[in-house]
Amino acid sequence: MDNFLASTLKQQAPLITSGTIGDINWYWLDHGVMVIEPNQGEINQLEHVLLSAGVHGNETAPIELLDQLVGDLLNSRLKLNVKLMIMLGNPEAMGNGERYNDIDMNRLFSQHHKNYPPCAETLRAEQLEALTAQFFESSKGRKLHFDLHTAIRESHHVRFALLPYKDSGQYSQKVCDWLSCSGVEAIVLNQEPSATFSYYSSEHCRADSCTLELGKAKPFGQNDLSQFEGINNGLRQLVSQGLPPSSTTAKLKVYQVSQQLTKLSESFTMNFSDDVKNFTAFEQDEILAVDRDTTYRVQQPTEWVLFPNPKVRPGLRAGLMLVEIEQDVIFH
């Protein structure tokens, strides 16, 4: 396996699709999908770690980080002590330098792909669901999934994690400690099921999952990967040593979704500028958006905005509003 990213962008299968290098076995499963595992010991007892990037094809820095990680594993520059799956989600969009071609893939998981006419993204989301379920099915150890993204919009928290909705409202202390040690500044708790990749792996595969937003989206070759040093070191520690023991030292801001701004019609307008940063604070009763007879206002004493986007299609989320909560109430 000479160049994982290059072959993925070309959507060319390698001449050899599996092999053994030193202490590891590797398996190429499809364009942008590999499994790498130690070739000694009880593999199913190990932590099973899925690292994905490129679900949005123009978010390239995490793709480059995972490509370097694969290269170092296959060249024996990095030790492996987990069963690892690497997924580069949307190779066609990656090659085009676009977020997606037809449909936002991160709105297609948990069978939501069936709600749309077949296209490259719906077929790929269905395939990634099947490969993910197969990967985690044999696990008798901890299951982990980190879906890596970057954002177009500037943010007051440069690196933050979105944790999928859970009925219990309880999340792993060890995972949050790892996030904090990897340079993540805040976590956001979703309050309802969604069609994201991380929700799929959490709900359907029982993995500890999250979506990571790690900085600005830039084209291939224009990323300063030194700005991603914290998460890069964290991922390398994760695959070589597994999750560290819980230290209860996580210093994270914790937010939960308080309300969703849904675009009901093309009359939808936001009451703030297009360049407002993620996690900008608004005070109670401030008007956030207007859509014909519907007015969205701040309902709590303070709410923070996340992912405002008035350009989405009617019926879709145009933004989230958040409230801050204490972190110790969410850990198990």
- Alpha carbon distances (Å) from 171 to 121, 187, 210: 30, 11, 10
Distance CA 121, CA 185 (A): 31
> Which residue is associated with the tokens 């989320």?
317
Catalytic pick among 129, 213, 324, 326: 213
**Residue 137 a catalytic site member:** no
Beta bridge partners of 305: 321
Residues 6+ apart with CB under 8 A from 15: none
Is 56 annotated in a binding site? The answer is: yes
Residue type, 284: Q
Please give the angle made by the CA atoms of 32, 113 and 317, to the nearest 5 degrees: 105
Distance CA 30, CA 42 (A): 25
Residue pair 26/74 in contact by the 8 Å Cβ criterion = yes
Pairing of strands 253-262, 186-189: parallel
> Which residue is associated with the tokens 């820095």?
61
Distance CA 196, CA 137 (A): 20
Is 149 annotated in a binding site? The answer is: yes
Distance CA 252, CA 235 (A): 18
Binding-site residue numbers for Zn(2+) are 56, 59, 149
Q: Which residues are annotated as a binding site?
A: 56, 59, 149
**Positions marked active-site:** 213
